[in-house]
Structure 1
Amino acid sequence: MSDPTDSDAPDLTASSAEIRGRWTELAEEVRRHRGLYYNQTPEIPDADFDAMFRELQELEAEHPDLAVPDSPTMEVGAPAVATSSFANVEHLERLMSLDNVFSLEELRDWLGRTPAQTYLTELKIDGLSIDLVYRDGLLERAATRGDGRVGEDITVNAKVVEGIPHELRGEAPALLEVRGEVYIRPVDFEEINDERREREQKLFANPRNTAAGGIRQKNVEDVRKRRLRFIAHGIGAREGFEPRSQHEAYTALAAFGFPVSAHTRQVHSVDEIIEQVEYWGAHRHDAEFEMDGLVIKVDSLAEQRGYGATSRAPRWAIAYKYPPEEVTTTLLDIQASVGRTGRVTPFAVMTPVLVSGSTVSMATLHNQTEVERKGVKIGDTVIIRKAGEIIPEVLGPVEEKRDGSERSYIFPTLCPSCGTRLAPQKEGDADWRCPNTRSCPAQLSARLTYLAGRGAFDIEALGEKGAQDLIRTGILVDEGDLFDLTEEKLAASSVYTTTAGKVNATGRKLLENLSTAKQTELWRVLVALSIRHVGPSAARALAARYGSLEAMRAAEVEDLAETDGVGQIIAESFAEWFTVDWHRGIVDKWAAAGVTMADDQTERAEQTLAGLTVVVTGTLENFSRDGAKEAILARGGKASGSVSKKTDYVVVGENAGSKEQKARDLGVTILDEAGFETLLATGSA
């Protein structure tokens, strides 16, 4: 590598020497982390690498003498590791990288420098780039990106990747080099990890690394097990194939048999591009693959040639990168919380950091076993992830940043809320629980907050603060007394009274909510009891089959287990709950207060959707999202959030997103809103 500190470099001042020292440090780190990333062993999140790379670019922009020809800013990808078992092959045309922008202002500046009549916007897939070569329509070779010039020959493995044709359809050109991305769908990734969990194997960290490692497996059957897929997003060398635009090229590739993204759009103005950027920023988890940005390309190939390229990236394309979903921060402390079932969950307290567009300062660590498995210590620099609305999670430490001051976390032996000694509920449980289920303040307040939720009694005026107050003041011994609350009893509350000691508007609303909540569906009452494993789906199934709580309590475990969607574990948990005296006391008190204990079977909707799985996507005119789900469940159907081969119907409204395309790909029946209403009424469409 050319070293900007060579003896023939200009004389240095102390300041410029520090700058050059920083450049050398950054260059080494960028090159090292790029190699780790492309060879499936990344140590830092993409966002940290992007920040490091940008700092290097900024240094070179301010000090042009640092921009030597073999700077990492001029390079693409990374060389294959020397120990690779795959042969090296040279690409017919070099695979370029993409320059990035991170704000709308930067994007507008780029568009101002790169005017075009038509652009393409396409999702930036977070996968592994590969290069395919076809001669006379037959797949001759598949290779990884490598350093952009030389990659690894993975032809045998590529032949089992879904979407890579072995032979092109129609009249194929003499030569065609196709670029694209190998990826794993999030739904497949979850299933793969579920299978590994059952076999007690180490779980994969994320879909991108799993795909990159999967394509390099020595056994082709192991490659097949990763459920890899391919999408084409570019062309290289070609003979007998001369499209005039990128869009025309994609249309031709689809005709040849390649999958191309259904989310690519032709746009003609800056406003249209910004609209796409903002839409996908809000819907980035609607795509069937993981994505971290939107790529904007000049559509015309003639205009592309006119703009040319730098040593590493085309000038006619840019990637707008969304806020990161994985970042690093400092783990300040590990504390423990107690949930409604007594489960004690360690959680990380961190230096606040922006991730996925929001500031995060706490993240779950699941249980003490996970803390040990992840190997995190208090004081560590840690990697955290926050995908969509999911609770932030600590992925692991950045061990290279440890300085020896870090200390191990010691899981508590006593409940942080009530001081009771903790233990697993059953032998082999990973979770430790507080056995003081009736009186532990943390458990009781969590149960009250849970039963007040929309999935149970829907008591709007009973939030976390109110629940804690009712317990702290002794107004409630347990949730059995909830429906016996009166204005007189609430007078001892600080949340539900005025400074003069009178019940306030929130207190009156609480009493109104409680009166209304008594007359609800039986399944909601079951959910509100916080019986372990009995969630909304199982509660609905039990209520639909038995019709009353009395009938459920009289049923044998084996009979309960035969209920569709229940099974042995839930049945045993249900029966065991009723062996506890104070549990039965809750039910008796609620029944005495007039809470629903049996459904009115005359008002029960006909079970037209029994055994059917329905997915609703997009905006419907006559149904809210929850309303559509409720309509499906009330008729005995399963309301799913993802489309799979097991899906029977997909209902499509406005702005449906990727689920509609996925349904088409799988051949699932698609309905509009009128068809949905017919389905609800008749069970068929």
Structure 2
Amino acid sequence: MDRQQAENRFAELRKQLQYHAHRYYVLDNPEISDTEYDRLFRELLDLEAQFPELITPDSPSQRVGGEPLSAFAEAVHNLPMLSLDNVFAAEELDAFAEKVQRRLNSSAQLTWTAEPKIDGLAVELIYEHGLLIEGSTRGNGLVGENITANLRTVRNIPLCLDAAAPERLAVRGEVFLPRGDFAELNRQRTEQGQQLFANPRNAAAGSLRQLDSKITAARPLSCCIYGIADLRSVPCQNMAELFVWLEQMHLPVNPLVKICHNLAEIKAHYLRLQQLRHELDYAIDGMVVKVNEFNLQEQLGNTARAPRWAVAWKFAAAEAEAVIIGIEYQVGRTGAITPVAILEPVHIDGTVVRRATLHNQEEISRKGLMIGDTVLVRRAGDVIPEVVKPLLERRSGQEQAVVFPQQCPICEQALHRPEGEAVTRCGNLHCPAQKLQRIIWFAGKSGLDIDGLGLKNVEKLVEAGLIKDIPDLFALPKEQLAALEGWGEKSAEKLLQAIEKAKQTSLARLLAALGIRHIGKTTAELLAEHFVDLNQLLQTTPEHLLTVHGIGEQTASSLCDYFAAQENRELLARLLDLGLTIHSGLKKTAVSGQLSGLVFLFTGTLSHLTRAEAEQRVKQLGGEAVSSLSKKVTHLVAGEKAGSKLQKAAELGIRVLDEQEFLQIIGE
């Protein structure tokens, strides 16, 4: 390639990478796969290595992330938040290690840390005097978005640290959405006709960039801390000591971090993480390798965009091309009709994939999919693979349009699509497919998690006529169970013991198990925190449900409609008659602190904190925050335009505080 060709290709690559980086980092809506982006980026790096005079300050190789969104205030990083260089093979890791040794001018044995590379959104958390005062995204590495209010809703991020924390501490980490919650979030968005998140990373980024922190709070985000900004701010000499110290500060760190004493140990841990990859409840796309000793990290320094003492060893792509040879239509537990692409078998990440979800009719239309299309298929752990997009340049003209059915493929009832929804449904509650899916959900991991009652065994029991509805699970006859093909007395006894154990459950788990629309694990836990028992929940109203933090109109309406149906009340009554025992509320871990034993209720508008932030402060300091007034409330915090609760609190002898008094109590 001559100089002119190099200049032209460099300009083209720079334009493409800047465009795709903006869609990935800023809009959270990528158009190409991570693998394709990495390929383009590596081509740019190779070109710059061959023609270093082409490197400009605005080259993607000199930048990190994307520009911050104007919707948020800017947050300036005192020390840049850098990205990581990538390697894709063991030989490339060897070359990286050799380069590190040359730069150190030493042949001495190095120690390393190796940890999962979580596929989430990079954030910085700043603590002063132990209190979280600011949280931000990476942005362009120098300036990010101030998303403090949203990060305070992430449940495992502590709002205050141990008393031994330094005066100022800036930690860096990754916020992510667990796989199961990602699948549930996309299911809800499918039903609501909203555009689906491409992957858990985009879902986490989209959740953190909400202008309303209540939306963020309703999503079960988690955080994992992997480092600090200023090495001199902590009493540690290396990464190994740092991870121990971070745990002592009650900051969340990954349990799969490993200290490695040579490259062989690093490679062994990479293979282990590769095997664990799809068993983890969070997405990882590789492993991060770092020089362990801080003094050596400082000696090695950084490039404009990445440290010279760390590298990301990426996994092979979990994507492939496949041909759609047909479409099947599945009926879900709520009657939702889900189209599934039948594919010519293709290997993705060590697994043969023959089916991929198409979500709904709108998604098929939006992507412009046809039978016979060659498509890009993505596999993400246990979640069923999905069709990302058709490869239009591969069309031959023989492709066929997708015609959505007008009748349920199982019960043949007419299908309908409720106004304002993207999902077509079978309205027949007695549809055999719906009943089967409700039973599978109830017994599965999202429900009571009955050992031995996976999908195949439930299908066998239904086919044998031993189960027709959910309560039948609790009345299985041992003799008939043992007589089933492939079973026996031991298998039957083991299953019956597991069922008996599952009869002891919590209100949150039961609510999630019933498969009520819009009631997933997180929402069920919110309800169980608020309501004493099932009876109280059965008697509630949509108006009262809307006072529960995190519960919206759709959820309130869906829950009340479910409990209003006579057949659902009869189902619950039968479960209770068969021995189901519900423990009231959630089992909460006791938190000791300066507010232990105190119960706070907030009313009116607060100016310094949002109500969600104030409630989290109380919980973090060992107190309890409630949403309704009762005799157990010890403190009522009244903001502007406080209503009738003030008078009632006075009648009950409850101490009333203004916002400034509350802030003094919590030390702000």
Q: Do the structures match in fold with TM over 0.5?
A: yes
- Do 2:329 and 2:409's aligned partners in 1 also have CA atoms closer than 8 Å? no
Structure 1 match to 2:252: 259
The correspondence of residues 639-658 of structure 1 with structure 2, limited to 5 A, is none
- Do 2:84 and 2:312's aligned partners in 1 also have CA atoms closer than 8 Å? yes
- Do 2:330 and 2:340's aligned partners in 1 also have CA atoms closer than 8 Å? no
Structure 1 match to 2:282: 289
- Corresponding position: 1:107 with 2:100: no
- Corresponding position: 1:612 with 2:598: no
- Opposite residue 33 of structure 1, the aligned amino acid is H
| SS of residue in 1 equivalent to 2:277 | coil
Query: 55, 80, 84: which one pairs with 1:98?
Result: 84
- Do 1:380 and 1:406's aligned partners in 2 also have CA atoms closer than 8 Å? no
- Corresponding position: 1:410 with 2:402: yes
**CA pair 610-361 structure 1, distance change in 2 beyond 3 A:** closer
- Corresponding position: 1:270 with 2:159: no
- Opposite residue 40 of structure 2, the aligned amino acid is M
User: Quick one: distance in 2 between partners of 1:111 and 1:602?
Assistant: 53
Query: 22, 28, 39: which one pairs with 2:15?
Result: 28
**CA pair 380-148 structure 1, distance change in 2 beyond 3 A:** farther
User: Quick one: distance in 1 between partners of 2:378 and 2:123?
Assistant: 27
Please say which structure displays the higher CA radius of gyration.
1
- Do 1:334 and 1:378's aligned partners in 2 also have CA atoms closer than 8 Å? yes
The correspondence of residues 215-226 of structure 1 with structure 2, limited to 5 A, is 215-226=208-219
Query: 457, 473, 477: which one pairs with 1:544?
Result: 477
Structure 1 match to 2:644: none
The correspondence of residues 105-254 of structure 1 with structure 2, limited to 5 A, is 105-115=91-101, 116-196=109-189, 203-237=196-230, 240-254=233-247
- Opposite residue 72 of structure 2, the aligned amino acid is F
- Do 1:230 and 1:259's aligned partners in 2 also have CA atoms closer than 8 Å? yes
**CA pair 366-188 structure 1, distance change in 2 beyond 3 A:** closer
- Corresponding position: 1:54 with 2:42: yes
Q: C-alpha displacement at 1:666, in angstroms?
A: 9.2
- Do 2:18 and 2:60's aligned partners in 1 also have CA atoms closer than 8 Å? yes
**CA pair 334-308 structure 1, distance change in 2 beyond 3 A:** same
- Do 1:44 and 1:383's aligned partners in 2 also have CA atoms closer than 8 Å? no
**CA pair 61-359 structure 1, distance change in 2 beyond 3 A:** farther
User: Quick one: distance in 1 between partners of 2:209 and 2:339?
Assistant: 37
Q: C-alpha displacement at 1:266, in angstroms?
A: 0.7
**CA pair 250-600 structure 1, distance change in 2 beyond 3 A:** closer
Identity of aligned residues (%): 33
**CA pair 410-142 structure 1, distance change in 2 beyond 3 A:** closer
- The TM-score normalised by the length of structure 1 is 0.59
- Opposite residue 209 of structure 1, the aligned amino acid is N
**CA pair 530-279 structure 1, distance change in 2 beyond 3 A:** farther
**CA pair 596-278 structure 1, distance change in 2 beyond 3 A:** closer
Larger displacement relative to structure 2 (280-289 or 387-396): 387-396
User: Quick one: distance in 1 between partners of 2:149 and 2:378?
Assistant: 34
Q: C-alpha displacement at 1:199, in angstroms?
A: 5.8
User: Quick one: distance in 1 between partners of 2:493 and 2:282?
Assistant: 40
The correspondence of residues 442-591 of structure 1 with structure 2, limited to 5 A, is 526=461, 543-544=476-477, 548=480
Q: C-alpha displacement at 1:538, in angstroms?
A: 8.7
User: Quick one: distance in 1 between partners of 2:194 and 2:281?
Assistant: 26
User: Quick one: distance in 1 between partners of 2:189 and 2:262?
Assistant: 47
User: Quick one: distance in 2 between partners of 1:426 and 1:298?
Assistant: 63
**CA pair 171-606 structure 1, distance change in 2 beyond 3 A:** closer
User: Quick one: distance in 2 between partners of 1:598 and 1:137?
Assistant: 58
Q: RCO (CA 8 Å, sep 6+): is it higher in 1 or 2? A: 2
Q: C-alpha displacement at 1:204, in angstroms?
A: 3.7
User: Quick one: distance in 2 between partners of 1:288 and 1:41?
Assistant: 22
| 1:564-600 Cα distance to aligned partner (Å, 9 max, x none) | xxxxxxxxxxxxxxxxxxxxxxxxxxxxxx9879998
Q: C-alpha displacement at 1:378, in angstroms?
A: 6.3
| SS of residue in 2 equivalent to 1:386 | strand
| 1:1-46 Cα distance to aligned partner (Å, 9 max, x none) | xxxxxxxxxxxxx843223212111111111111111121211121
**CA pair 530-200 structure 1, distance change in 2 beyond 3 A:** farther
| 1:592-642 Cα distance to aligned partner (Å, 9 max, x none) | xx987999899856944434359xxxxxxxxxxxxxxxxxxxxxxxxxxxx
Structure 2 match to 1:347: 341
- Opposite residue 165 of structure 1, the aligned amino acid is P
| SS of residue in 1 equivalent to 2:225 | strand
The correspondence of residues 375-454 of structure 1 with structure 2, limited to 5 A, is 375-377=368-370, 382-388=375-381, 392-397=385-390, 409-411=401-403, 425-428=412-415, 430=424
- Do 1:79 and 1:146's aligned partners in 2 also have CA atoms closer than 8 Å? yes
- Do 1:245 and 1:300's aligned partners in 2 also have CA atoms closer than 8 Å? yes
Q: Which runs of 5 or more structure 1 residues have no equivalent in the other structure?
A: 1-13, 416-420, 433-453, 459-520, 550-593, 615-642, 647-664, 668-685
- Do 1:175 and 1:238's aligned partners in 2 also have CA atoms closer than 8 Å? no
Q: C-alpha displacement at 1:392, in angstroms?
A: 3.5
| 1:203-232 Cα distance to aligned partner (Å, 9 max, x none) | 544221111011111111111011111111
Q: C-alpha displacement at 1:321, in angstroms?
A: 0.4
User: Aligned residue pairs: how many?
Assistant: 465
Structure 2 match to 1:658: none
**CA pair 613-204 structure 1, distance change in 2 beyond 3 A:** farther
User: Quick one: distance in 2 between partners of 1:300 and 1:227?
Assistant: 35
Structure 1 match to 2:72: 86
- Do 2:323 and 2:374's aligned partners in 1 also have CA atoms closer than 8 Å? no
User: Quick one: distance in 1 between partners of 2:122 and 2:46?
Assistant: 27
